[in-house]
Amino acid sequence: MHTELVKLAVNNIKNRDKRSWLTAIGVVIGITAVVGLISLGQALEYTVESEFEDLGAEVVFVLEGEGLQGFFVGGMDDNDLEVVRSSRGVDLAGPMYYGSATGSFQGEEQRVAIIGVPTDESQEMVMSSQALTVDQGRNLQDTDQNNVLIGSSLADDYFEQSMGIRSQIRVARTDLRTVGVLEATGDPEFDTGVVMPIDRARDLFEDGDDESTYIVARPQSGIEPSEIAESIEENMRRDRGLMPGDEDFTVSTADDLLESFTSILGTVQAVVIGLASISLLVGGIGIMNTMYMSVTERTQEIGVMKAVGAQKKQIKTIFLIESGLIGLLGGFIGVLLGIGVSEIGIYLINLYVDISFVSNYSPALISGTLVFSLLIGMFSGYLPARQAAELEPVEALREE
């Protein structure tokens, strides 16, 4: 019985193919926007998670101030570094320094980032925490004073003339010689930066002293980053004479940073998808309008079906199936277009960003979207279907 009702509903849609396609457009637009935005968000989240895994999630960042707003302020000193190193469970800790200055190369001036890294045993850990890897040349050594590494963009196209190994760049009235070029990180701050020993970076600025922008710590084997984060917080509070809740510093694990990012991304997605869903509301109203018109046009047909024994439930089911199929049709096309929009977006992003974005379409997204489209259609067609089911056979047969 249900199979026959589905066949009848499909034939009715085919008989009004142009109207059915036009009605589905509203759903198509809404589903395209929702699927495209969610897919881009999932690709971004998947890419960021992969980058965190590549950087190594087993590190802890200690910054001055509350949260990331203190990231470029500095304020950490050698005493803080010793406190971190002496904290329970810490295997290795090292500082990193940020600044900016005017760089001059072959008469051309540009603003460049100054990145100071240690040259002791913590160097590899600190650099890998920001995906700083030497692509050409060598890494920095203890004996280096005016030798530096340069970012990939700085080497290729930041200045009109490309730079390379043994090139000289003048920064803060100091001539520096490149001994290595870094791999691209996708972060303009690093890719256009000059990396040098941290003491030399501090010397370029009059108020440098023993300041660090942040400290990176690695836990001992078998200890979770969250455990040493608690230990560092306790030691830092004790050293600064602070009570819990009065911290003027921030201790963050990679998981904390990732959680903050995904939370912000989720909020942005929810707002944008909410706006895009307005078109789904319009699509639902379009389906309802079409089904009301269909009831009016098929009044005699409904009367004939009732006269030969069709029940109210069967009449209602036919119209619900029709409206649901229109919604499902719009959803199916919207999913395909949404995936296409997402792929185009990812392609364009990959053209301008060095980090490789990868498509990530979850089965739950596709199946959930199709079910949602079907439900939108059926919900929109409920009132017209009920009206059709309540028509009296005699009155319906009188309609011309």
Element (H, E) at 322: helix 312-352
Model pTM? 0.63
Q: CA dihedral in degrees (211, 212, 213, 217; nearest 10)? A: -150
Q: How far is CA 383 from CA 59, 69, 264, in A?
A: 58, 54, 39
Q: Using CB atoms within 10 A of its CB, is residue 60 exposed (0-12), middle (13-18) or buried (19+)? A: buried
pLDDT reading at 392 higher than 50: yes
Short-list 19, 8, 24, 16, CA closest to 318:
8
Q: How confident is the model at residue 130 (pLDDT cuts 50, 70, 90)?
A: confident
pLDDT tens, position by position, 309-353: 778 787 888 888 888 888 888 889 989 998 898 888 888 877 776
Of 57-61, 117-121, 276-280, where does mean pLDDT reach its minimum?
276-280
Which two three-digit tokens encode residue 262?
Answer: 């995904």
Q: How much is the average pLDDT of 208-215? A: 80
Q: Report phi then psi at 37, rounded to 5.
A: -70, -45
pLDDT tens, position by position, 257-272: 777 777 777 787 777 7
Q: Is 89 helix (H, G, I), strand (E, B) or coil?
A: coil
The secondary structure of residue 185, as a DSSP letter, is -
Which two three-digit tokens encode residue 333?
Answer: 């096309």
Would you put residue 186 in left (φ > 0), alpha (ψ -120 to 50) or beta?
Answer: left
CA angle in degrees (0–180, nearest 5) for 295-300-301: 75
Q: What is the pLDDT of residue 147?
A: 93
275/119 Cα distance (integer angstroms):
51
The alpha carbon of 65 is separated from its chain's Cα centroid by a whole number of angstroms, namely: 26
pLDDT tens, position by position, 37-70: 888 887 877 777 676 665 556 788 988 876 544 4
Short-list 326, 360, 324, CA closest to 345:
360
Q: How much is the average pLDDT of 155-178? A: 86
Q: How much is the average pLDDT of 365-378? A: 87
Q: How confident is the model at residue 72 (pLDDT cuts 50, 70, 90)?
A: very low
Q: How confident is the model at residue 354 (pLDDT cuts 50, 70, 90)?
A: low
Q: What is the pLDDT of residue 195?
A: 93
Q: What is the pLDDT of residue 15?
A: 67
Of 178-182, 220-224, 276-280, where does mean pLDDT reach its minimum?
276-280
Q: How far is CA 331 from CA 32, 40, 181, in A?
A: 8, 18, 49
Q: Is 146 helix (H, G, I), strand (E, B) or coil?
A: coil
pLDDT reading at 398 higher than 60: no
Q: What is the pLDDT of residue 196?
A: 93
Q: Which residue has the tokens 């949404």?
A: 338
Q: Half-sphere exposure (CA, 13 Å, Cβ side) for 202? A: 20
Element (H, E) at 281: helix 278-297
Q: What is the average pLDDT value for the chain, to the nearest integer?
A: 81
Q: Report phi then psi at 177, rounded to 5.
A: -115, 130
Residues in a beta bridge with 249: 64
Q: What is the pLDDT of residue 68?
A: 47
Q: What is the pLDDT of residue 75?
A: 74
Helix, strand, coil shares, percent, the chain, to 5: 55, 20, 25
CA angle in degrees (0–180, nearest 5) for 115-117-121: 165
Q: What is the pLDDT of residue 9?
A: 66
Short-list 117, 111, 202, CA closest to 153:
111
97/207 Cα distance (integer angstroms):
13
Distance separating the N- and C-terminal Cα atoms of the chain: 29
Element (H, E) at 85: helix 78-85
Residues in a beta bridge with 94: 216
222/200 Cα distance (integer angstroms):
35
Instruction: Of 24-33, 119-128, 250-259, 269-278, give the range with the top mean pLDDT.
Output: 119-128
Q: What is the pLDDT of residue 123?
A: 92
